[in-house]
Amino acid sequence: MKETYRNIFAEMGIAQQQIDKRLREIRDFYFDGKDDERVYYPVGDDMAYIMDTGNNDARTEGMSYGMMLCVQLDLREAFDRLWKWTKTYMWMPDGENEGYFAWSCATDGTKNAESPAPDGEEFFAMALFFASHRWGDGEGIFNYSHEAKEILRACLHKGENGRAGAPMWNRENYQILFVPGCGFTDPSYHLPHFYELFAQWAYEEDRPFWARAALESRRYLAAACHPETGFSAEYAEFDGSPMSRRLPWTDERHDWFYSDSYRTVANIGLDYEWFGMDEGQCQAAQKIQEFLLEDGRKNTYHIYETDGRIAGEQALHPVAVTATVAMSVLAADTPYSKEWVERFWNLPMRTGGRRYYDNCLYFFAFLALSGNYRIW
């Protein structure tokens, strides 16, 4: 298992004392900050949720992100609080989506949906495996490794042997789906660095699938990221091309470089830091640093077509753009890498109603660039 992790901030000459102090400030801001800062909200004696402050709900995305942050920071009480809230309110014990988690709930726990979003499940499973290895398994829902394996079993085997529902991965091409059973994917959901570990820790019969999924996801990301800009679309076809078909639940576009897409190059960075494997996907890290350089200097990002043409107004989450491009440095050292990391170091966390998504990606980027986003 990996023993050393790059500390990009230290490589740039920032003192470790400063890095540690900044990490404590970020932690306090995110978990315990003022009303326009924090996104973590305790409930009673033993539960808590992460609020999507832009939509005033709790999502499997945010809950699983919060759990991953907790296990990286050794915050077991907060981890258990988030996991208990998730299992109490989001988990679906029966029906078509039995074994999955409702992707959105009101902050009182009422389900806003009876359907899942696969990025939540993969983050839940990875955070639970890390918790098992860092803290040891407990009982019931706190038997972390068992819970993780059961999530992954559902993700792969729904719809088999008379079981209701549909899987979250296409079992023929090994790609994660945007929603179970659909015919397209989301490039930012592809986490080959997680699949490498699932191939070691999932139920034994599923390990070959995860090993192949890691390889195929790296190849997919190489195809999904534009060769000149490094941009991926929010949703994409199985060949990597932007998915521009109309969806039954929305008339909005998702074939451009917009909010979901920002995570793709950050994931490429962390995957390369953890496993050092390049199937062509690392080129996106180089290209995105180059293409967004001038907009980064002006701190004015737009909505873009994947080929770089401006397609809309200013980006909704500019902090997330800077954070994720900085995180791409883990996969590609370029003449602009130091500038991107310095820009991120000097960037404050976001306050106000749209802070949730920006600050989740900000937090992950800081952990990764300081050598603190680790395999446990």
Q: Which CATH number fits domain 42-160: 3.40.50.150, 2.60.40.10, 1.50.10.10, 1.10.760.10?
A: 1.50.10.10
Q: Of 37, 52, 57, 61, which residue is the catalytic one? A: 61
The whole-number pLDDT of residue 120 equals 98
Percent of the chain residues topping a pLDDT of 90? 95
Q: How many CB atoms lie within 10 A of CB 246?
A: 8
Percent of the chain residues topping a pLDDT of 70? 100
**Which regions of the chain carry the CATH code 1.50.10.10?**
42-160, 169-355
| Span 112-131, average pLDDT | 98
The whole-number pLDDT of residue 312 equals 84
The whole-number pLDDT of residue 246 equals 82
Q: Which two tokens stand for residue 353?
A: 């109603």
Give residue-wise pLDDT tens across range 139-175.
Answer: 999 999 999 999 999 999 999 987 889 999 999 999 9
The whole-number pLDDT of residue 60 equals 98
The whole-number pLDDT of residue 177 equals 98
Known catalytic residue: 307?
A: no
Known catalytic residue: 313?
A: no
On whether the pTM is more than 0.75, the answer is: yes
The whole-number pLDDT of residue 316 equals 95
Largest CA distance in the chain: 59
Helix axes 318-327, 262-275, angle to 10 degrees: 20
Reported confidence tier of residue 292, pLDDT bands at 50, 70, 90: very high
Nearest to 285 by CA among 327, 317, 315: 327
Q: Of 119, 122, 186, 260, which residue is the catalytic one? A: 260
Give residue-wise pLDDT tens across range 217-227.
Answer: 999 999 999 99
What is the assigned CATH class of domain 169-355? mainly alpha
| Span 196-202, average pLDDT | 98
Interatomic CA distance for residues 263 and 30, integer angstroms? 19
Are 351 and 325 in contact by the 8 Å Cβ rule? The answer is no
